[in-house]
Amino acid sequence: MKKYNVAVVGATGMVGRTMLKILQERDFSIDKLYLYSSSRSAGTSIEFNNKKVTVEELTENSFSKEIDIAFFSAGSSTSLKYAQIASANGIVVIDNSSAFRMDKDIPLVVPEVNAHDITNHKGIISNPNCSTIQALVVLKPLHDKYKIKRIVFSTYQAVSGSGVNGIQDLERGLLGEPNTFYPHQIANNCLPHIDSFEENGYTKEELKMINETKKILHDDDLRITATTVRVPVYYSHSESINIEFENEFEINELKKVLEEAPGIIVLDNPKENLYPLPTEVAGKDEVFVGRIRKDYSVDCGINLWVVADNIRKGAATNAVQIAEEVIRNL
Ligand code: A2P
């Protein structure tokens, strides 16, 4: 089996470390592994497949090596500075930041949904926003079958989506200490504020969900709105998704469509109090769906409760799945 040289930029971060874990779990065929961080973590080491790999400082020369695939997860400014350098050296970049997501020449990919878009890549492939990824795994089979007209997203997002800073603010808040990262206390609270506010009153996170969904489904006519909320949960994002379809549906058939779609686990038995919970879903790679019920306020509407591990399927797992598609096409 062919082996690949792989680089992870932001290897010491929460998503970077999870990517390394997933590459090992999925037995990704790696020859040489290069780990990059800022100067802060350079010189430390991380164990990979029972060997210690030294973390190096990211510089412009980091990509003048024989590397096949580079995962970037060190924020937008690092991607904007270095991703083009890597791709100019023939390296396929899988970028977890928002830097290139809405660039029309750069594929934005959830493998269960639009793996075919990878074939058009010109060196960089974007990993969507965490909340968008888990929603799209569920929306795609329903859009194919019943044609979606309108979507209302309401999210309940874990603090790990803000990295170590978010986790520390929740830990501190639970001890009665003041927040240092979020604008308000997150412990025992809900903040209707993820990423910065735009002039129109929406947050960037809300606009990411709206715009990325249209791009991935290749449908600019979809009517979508979103409210994104940070909640005091460590891992896994939850979403209430209200969907209006063009076409009529039968509820049991719709459940079957979801059960048979790739990457989804349906957990829906209200009589047994069975529905997806962030604590149960953390550490898993699938997207979990429950509370599947008709929205009787419109002709063809449905309500869903969708939960996924935001660091795994919402970031690291999706990126590794993209890499698996890339090597399938090499
Ligand atoms: P470092 O450990 O040196 O800070 P998180 O999102 O969990 O905070 O992780 C961010 C990741 O991105 C870390 O690995 C961090 O490295 C890395 N990083 C942050 N800024 C830069 C930069 N300017 N150049 C390279 N890596 C960076």
Residue nearest atom 7 in ligand 1 by C-alpha distance: 13
Among 17, 21, 38, say which to mutate for ligand 1: greatest number of ligand atoms within 8 Å of CB: 38
Q: What is the mean pLDDT of the segment spanning 131-158?
A: 98
pLDDT in tens, 26-60: 999 999 999 999 999 999 999 999 999 999 999 99
Count CA within 13 A, CB hemisphere, residue 257. Answer: 17
Residue nearest atom 22 in ligand 1 by C-alpha distance: 38
Residue 287: predicted pLDDT: 99
Which one, of 64, 78, 66, lies nearest residue 15 by Cα?
78
23 pLDDT more than 90: yes
φ and ψ at residue 197, rounded to 5 degrees? -85, 145
Burial of 330 (0-12, 13-18, 19+ CB in 10 A): exposed
Active site residues: 130, 237
Banded pLDDT at 308 (limits 50, 70, 90):
very high
201 pLDDT more than 90: yes
Cα 113 to averaged position of ligand 1 atoms, centre (Å)? 29
Whole-number mean pLDDT of the chain? Answer: 98
- Pocket (CB within 6 angstroms of ligand 1): 10-14, 16, 37-38, 40-41, 58, 74-75, 78, 163-164
- 226, 287 Cβ separation under 8 angstroms: no
Q: What is the mean pLDDT of the segment spanning 265-279?
A: 98
Banded pLDDT at 330 (limits 50, 70, 90):
confident
Tokens 């309401």 belong to 154
Catalogue all structural domains in the chain, each as residue range(s) with its CATH number: 4-127+315-328 (3.40.50.720), 131-310 (3.30.360.10)
pLDDT in tens, 55-109: 999 999 999 999 999 999 999 999 999 999 999 999 999 999 999 999 999 999 9
Q: What is the mean pLDDT of the segment spanning 275-302?
A: 98
Residue 36: predicted pLDDT: 98
Banded pLDDT at 165 (limits 50, 70, 90):
very high
Name the strands in the sheet holding 30-37, side by side, starting at the edge strand that comes first in the sequence: 45-48, 51-57, 30-37, 4-9, 69-72, 92-95, 124-126
Which one, of 58, 59, 63, 52, lies nearest residue 5 by Cα?
63
Residue 287 to residue 10: CA distance in whole angstroms = 25
Cα 16 to averaged position of ligand 1 atoms, centre (Å)? 9
Residue 177 to residue 150: CA distance in whole angstroms = 42
Residue 251 to residue 248: CA distance in whole angstroms = 10
Atom of ligand 1 nearest to the CA of 15: 7
pLDDT in tens, 102-135: 999 999 999 999 999 999 899 999 999 999 999 9
pTM, rounded to two decimals? 0.97
